[in-house]
Amino acid sequence: MTTQNTLLEMLSINGLTHDGRGVGHFEGKTIFVNDAVPGDIVTAKITKHHDNFDEADCLEIKTPSPERVNPFCSVYKECGGCQLQHLSLDAQRYWKNKNFITQLTQSVDAQQCKTAEPMIGDDTHYRRRTRLTLVISKKDKIARLGFKQKSSNEVVDIDHCPVLTEGLNQAIKESKSALLEQASRAYKEVTLVEADNGIFNTFPSKESAEETLNQAQPYYTLNATSTPLKITFPADGFIQINQSLNEQMIAQALDWLELQPEHKVLDLFCGVGNFTLPIAQQVQSTVGIEGEQILVETASQNAKQNALASVNFYKGDLFDEVTPKPWFKKQKYDRILLDPGRQGAFNLSKTLGKLKAHIIVYVSCNAATLIRDIKELEKQGYRLTKAGMIDMFPHTTHTEVMVQLSRTHKAIKKPKSRPTFKI
């Protein structure tokens, strides 16, 4: 029996949690161990005792896993930006994919589901947008610009980050001295984004804010379809941070939507048209819905500058009751794509079946809320038919995932047992 402070000698780690902790077992009880990876044999100390599992810290690695590697970042142990640099890239992707597919197939009807190979790309210098923290530390009164420490509000000062693009690293180098002069005890955010037409920033000072407003509008080019698209976006707004994976993700979404020229497609949480505009190149009519007016206006501007007259964008609260909305009430769509934030689309999923789309493609950065929403779509006659993991954020515990749901015209009864895919 374990209690708090119990020492576990020679504990074998044979799994990885969704948040990057090693998984071991002692006397039939599951132990989640910080800083351990599958294949390790460790000495662990119980820090929190629960009825069904315990949490522990790794005190010593007796035998390191073959998949354990040396982190390539000099501040990895302090910085909270990455969580998995001590695990090989192949193992990271294996466990991310395994955890997603296992969680999915144990929670929803996956009898007809085909799993796609994990989508992968570069693992360094891939991040084209970052948010830094600027503050004078209360502990030592030193001004710092960087990322929050693990489980702390203290800031790790950085000059270079190996997961940021070289352009962003150069921008940090050139602007750091000036930024540190603006630091105070109040936490300030500094956002940097690399666009095709340069580096754009949002700085905390009034003067810098005015400079930002006077900058040209940033844009990136999409090559996911035969005709490239120019996509403008607000400098302080959301953008898929991994350019190469974004291209692959769009291509897969277009494939899974199974588009035909005569289709009418609805894109929910459409942003500036990252998915909407590539879809509009292939179908008769496309509608994009977004909650922020500035994004609706930018998306409309993007449609115009790319000469796509068959797409329309509207502002809509997708977390409120959607059935009275003009774009929803008495409408019928052949295909639906949705890409919500981490909170998912629970209320929307309860009524989405009324639109009678034959295929829904759901892109998510949170597998838990995705699965919750799939359960609501099952009640309306949809069945999971494809699923895949996208390693959008290498060396972190975060993933992007995508599923395809097909309409069966009848609600699905929960089976007595769930099949589990082998990976």
Q: What is the CATH number of the domain that holds 51?
A: 2.40.50.140
- What's the confidence (pLDDT) of residue 3? 79
pLDDT, residue 204, reads: 61
CB 394 within 8 A of CB 126: yes
413 found inside a domain: no
Name the phi and psi angles at 39, rounded to 5.
Answer: 100, -15
365 is catalytic: yes
pLDDT tens sequence for the chain (423 residues): 777 889 999 999 999 999 999 999 999 999 999 999 999 999 999 999 999 999 999 999 999 999 999 999 999 999 989 999 999 999 999 999 999 999 999 999 999 999 999 999 999 999 999 999 999 998 899 999 999 998 888 999 999 999 999 999 999 999 999 999 999 999 999 999 999 999 998 876 545 544 544 568 999 999 988 899 999 999 988 899 999 999 999 999 999 999 999 999 999 999 999 999 999 999 999 999 999 999 999 999 999 999 999 999 999 999 987 777 888 887 899 999 999 999 999 999 999 999 999 999 999 999 999 999 999 999 999 999 999 999 999 999 999 999 999 998 666 555 555 544 443
Q: What is the pTM of this model?
A: 0.92
Shared domain for 274 and 200, answered yes or no, is: no
Q: How many domains does the chain have?
A: 3
Q: CB-based contacts of 168: which residues, under 8 Å, 6+ apart?
A: 127, 128, 130, 161, 192, 193, 194, 199
**107: three-class secondary structure by DSSP:** helix
96 in the same domain as 29: no
Is residue 1 one of the residues assigned to a domain? Answer: no
Q: SS3 helix, strand, coil % of the chain, rounded to 5?
A: 25, 30, 45
Are 260 and 389 in a shared domain? Answer: yes
Residue 236 lies in a domain: no
Residue 28 lies in a domain: yes
pLDDT value for 421? 40
Same domain, residue pair 294 and 375: yes
CATH number for the domain including 146?
A: 2.40.50.1070
pLDDT of residue 213: 47
**Residue 280 falls inside a structural domain:** yes
Residue after which a domain boundary falls, among 213, 234, 269? 213
Same domain flag for 204 and 249: no
In which domain, by residue range, is 46 found?
7-63
Same domain, 289 and 397: yes
Residues 104 and 14 in one domain: no
Answer yes or no: do 328 and 400 share one domain. Answer: yes
The CATH number of residue 102's host domain is 3.40.50.150
CA distances 394 to 94, 124, 275, 397, Å, are 12, 8, 22, 8
Q: Say which of 58, 79, 113, 365 is annotated catalytic.
A: 365
Do residues 200 and 273 share a domain? no
218, 235 contact by CB (below 8 A)? yes
For residue 73, being part of any structural domain is answered with no
Are 115 and 137 found together in one domain? Answer: no
Residue pair 221/196 in contact (Cβ under 8 Å)? The answer is yes
For residue 420, being part of any structural domain is answered with no
Q: What is the pLDDT of residue 206?
A: 46
Q: Is residue 416 part of a domain?
A: no
